[in-house]
Chains A and B, each alone.
Chain A
Amino acid sequence: MKLRWLAAAMAAAVVGLSGTLAFSDSDREGREKGERGWLAGLAAPTGVKPVDNHLYAAECSSCHFAYQPGLLPEASWRELMANLSDHFGENAELTPETQKLLTDYLIQNAAEQDGGWLARDVLRDADKRTEPVIRITETAFFIHEHDELPQRVWRDNPKVGSMSNCSACHTKADNASFDEHQVSIPGVGRWED
């Protein structure tokens, strides 16, 4: 009986690891996320699930942090993905095929599907709105967590520049960990309130 458990555990480890490797093959962004992918699964309870789609990571992080799908509700992702030619002032057009694949991934992993406490906060915020929120930085929880930060440490900080630049300060953001203890603001250092 013990042996059977051991075998099952090993099989699970192999499956987990091969998933990681499959994801790590393609390019640097993929590798970075892949290395952390299986470790992230061990850290519970999570705020939001890590990105686990290579196409999404590669396409979106060409220009910016690859936000975890659980950070916005389904309706928000639908609206955002339908307007990529004016994506916060940038043209981010995709081929129809890629656009559909990424929209499907976002919807299948949106806040409603995520289950993490951060995703639930996002949904609570969405319940109070009549229109879907498009900017993660405008959700109530995000504002609550960041409103004490003076502009000099983010907007006027050439290494940060914007609140949308998660990984500038959240050193484990790529791993979907936004823990305050892991914050290090460039040129400022650790920040805990």
Chain B
Amino acid sequence: MYIQHLIAIVVGLLAIVALPEARADAVADAQAGYQAQGAGPFDAQAGARRWTENHTEAGTDKQISCASCHRQDLRQPGQHVRTLKPIEPMSPAVNPQRLTDVKKIEKWFLRNCKGTWGRECTAQEKGDFLVYIQSQ
């Protein structure tokens, strides 16, 4: 066996082992950041409550919540209220790509908190959402 083959096999095995690890890390990394800001412990039930909490959308008088686009059942696909574009399920159990990338998590928290609540979410709120989404 050539050394290159051996390296390829080792790298392949490492990738298989490291992949689920990376997933857990994205949430853990984000939460570590929130804890550094004084937040925690995080509560899935608080996240669940806020998921359906209605807010008046800026510029319209519509009542919207996270569930308006993402649905109350996170295992179901959602739909963007304005563009009608399908949104893949939020539940990592159904859609393993969810919660795997800290940058993506923060990008969407920033946009969607501002867009839906009219302000950024606090570190505590974001941490609660993450454990809630993870639990679904």
Residues of A within 8 A of B (CB): 61, 63-65, 85, 88-95, 158-162, 164-165, 168
Contacts and interface: CB of A to CB of B under 8 A. Distances in A.
Secondary structure type dominating chain A contacts: loop
A32 B84 CA distance: 19
B111 A92 contact: yes
22 contacts: A61-B85, A63-B80, A63-B83, A63-B85, A64-B85, A65-B83, A65-B85, A85-B114, A89-B60, A89-B82, A90-B111, A90-B115, A91-B114, A91-B115, A93-B107, A93-B114, A94-B107, A158-B84, A159-B84, A162-B82, A162-B83, A164-B83
Secondary structure type dominating chain B contacts: loop
Contacts of A92: 111
Contact of A161 (B60, B84, B112, B114): B84
A63 B81 CA distance: 10
A153 to B, nearest CB: 14
Contact of B83 (A64, A85, A95): A64
B59 interface: yes
B34 to A, nearest CB: 19
A54 to B, nearest CB: 15
Given A85-B114, A95-B107, A90 B84 contact: no
A162 B80 CA distance: 12
A110 to B, nearest CB: 22
